[in-house]
Amino acid sequence: MTTGYTSTTQVDPAVAIFYDRVLLKRALPYLHYNKFAQVRNIGKKSGNTVKWRRYTALAAATVPLTEGVTPPGQQGAKTDILAQISWYGDWMGVSDVIDLTVEDRVITEFTELLGEQMGLTLDQLTRDILCATASYTNASKGANGYTPTELTRADIDAVVKTLLGANASFITEVQKASTGIGTSPVRASFWSIIHTDLIDDLEACSGFKSVAEYPKGDAIEGEWGNVGNVRFLVSSVAHKVAGTPQAYNYYCLVLGKNAYGTSEIKGGSAKSIVHDFGSGGTGDPLNQRATVGWKTPFVARILNDALMNNLRVTHS
């Protein structure tokens, strides 16, 4: 056996690990809950409470007028809806040692992490407000034996009828047929946000149409398809709660136009705040710390429960 060759047994690498400086991409959820809000931001130095106002519609005037007699007329009535802004935010700190020794652009990465956190925070704040709506329907047309049952076309159609009976308006207009092969028109629709766990049940609904079958191919990000007069967005952070005996109850919000609103304060919204090394004064006498953070004023409010419906389902 030849022994004159040197191998890594005698001389091993001084640096035994290769570090790939191209960082892995983070898996992020679709954020949908603020997409259909009526936005009414408060002016700077105008307080911290927003007021929405709605006037009550008049009933039809079906009584014939009497000649020469003035009818009694109607008094106007209004509903005011108030919402008070709260502040939300978070931050991360970096030491000077990290800045000098770690290969990554740590402050830049932390800024991106915090931006993603802000988006998730605002999405979940609105989600939790909307899921508390007084208007809900428990699915009952399915066959899984739970209460509520799994998602079905019959339950979706029932929610559509409820919303139309309350004079809710569709959010999207009709998409007319095109010359694309395998495509077909899409009805005027309400929007629904459902959990990714329910994708198979959604596709099993009678009349389900994938976004691939849309005539113009103009589905929005995170849209999975439509059933009847409802277009569906999916998200891994859509609302679900533990159930018995089923694992979860899922809240499938079906939204009409102007069902809810959000508000911020102009000039104070979504600030990214960076304090570099040396900015801490006597609180950081050796320039050892830097911080990045975000802060934003925000509130979400249901404006009309009748214009939305929480379709509660289980999984098949």
Q: Are residues 250 and 267 in the same domain?
A: no
Which has the closest alpha carbon to 311: 81, 173, 133? 133
Contacts of 201 (CB under 8 A, 6+ apart): 150, 151, 313, 315, 316
- State the DSSP string of 235-302: ETTS-EEE-SSSSEEEEEEEE-TTSEEEE-BTTSSSEEEEE-TT-SGGGSTT--EEEEEEEEEEEEEE
Over 80: is that where the pLDDT of 296 sits?
Answer: yes
Which helix (H) or strand (E) segment is 31 a member of?
Answer: none
Contacts of 128 (CB under 8 A, 6+ apart): 239
Which has the closest alpha carbon to 300: 84, 136, 119? 84
- Going along the chain, which residue ranges are E strands? 38-39, 49-55, 78-84, 86-95, 136-138, 190-195, 209-210, 223-227, 230-235, 240-242, 248-255, 260-263, 271-275, 289-302, 308-313
Q: Are residues 267 and 279 in the same domain?
A: yes
Beta-bridged to residue 115, according to DSSP, are none
Q: Give tens-digit pLDDT for 9-50.
A: 767 777 666 666 766 677 889 999 999 999 999 998 899 999
Assigned domain for 111 exists: yes
Over 70: is that where the pLDDT of 245 sits?
Answer: yes
Q: What is the pLDDT of residue 13?
A: 76
Could you give the CA distance from residue 71 to residue 59 in angstroms, rounded to a whole number?
14
The overall average pLDDT reported for the chain is: 91
Assigned domain for 15 exists: no
Q: Are residues 174 and 123 in the same domain?
A: no
What is the arithmetic mean of pLDDT over 134-148? 96
Read off the pLDDT band of 268 (50, 70, 90). Answer: confident
Could you give the CA distance from residue 138 to residue 151 in angstroms, rounded to a whole number?
10
| 36 and 124 Cβ atoms separated by less than 8 Å | no
Q: Are residues 105 and 174 in the same domain?
A: no
- Helix-strand-coil split of the chain, %, nearest 5: 20, 30, 50
Q: Are residues 125 and 268 in the same domain?
A: yes
Over 90: is that where the pLDDT of 180 sits?
Answer: no
Rg, C-alpha atoms of the chain = 28
Over 90: is that where the pLDDT of 123 sits?
Answer: yes
Assigned domain for 283 exists: yes
Q: What is the pLDDT of residue 19?
A: 63
Could you give the CA distance from residue 260 to residue 37 in angstroms, rounded to a whole number?
5
Assigned domain for 142 exists: yes
197, amino acid identity: D
**Range list of H helices, 170-247:** 199-204
Read off the pLDDT band of 313 (50, 70, 90). Answer: very high
Give phi and psi for 214, each to the nearest 5. -65, 145
Indicate the length of the chain as a whole number.
Answer: 316
Assigned domain for 14 exists: no
| 98 and 106 Cβ atoms separated by less than 8 Å | yes
Assigned domain for 189 exists: yes
Domain that holds residue 108: 38-53+78-130+262-302
Q: Are residues 168 and 209 in the same domain?
A: yes
Give the three-state DSSP class for 312: strand
CATH number at residue 268: 3.30.2400.10
Using CA atoms, how far residue 210 sits from 207, 226, 231, 232, 261, in Å, is: 10, 7, 10, 10, 29
Q: Are residues 106 and 151 in the same domain?
A: no
Over 70: is that where the pLDDT of 281 sits?
Answer: yes
Give the total number of structural domains in the chain: 2
Q: Are residues 117 and 221 in the same domain?
A: no
Assigned domain for 23 exists: no
Assigned domain for 117 exists: yes
Q: Are residues 110 and 172 in the same domain?
A: no
Q: Are residues 94 and 155 in the same domain?
A: no
What is the arithmetic mean of pLDDT over 201-227? 93
**Picking from 56-65, 115-124, 270-279, which range would have the lowest pLDDT averaged per residue?**
270-279
Give the strand pairing for 289-302 and 271-275.
antiparallel
Which has the closest alpha carbon to 87: 269, 234, 212, 210? 269
Cis (ω within 30 of 0) for the bond into 297?
no
Cis (ω within 30 of 0) for the bond into 285?
no
Q: Are residues 88 and 162 in the same domain?
A: no
Q: What is the pLDDT of residue 267?
A: 78
Q: What is the pLDDT of residue 6?
A: 64
Q: Are residues 309 and 179 in the same domain?
A: yes
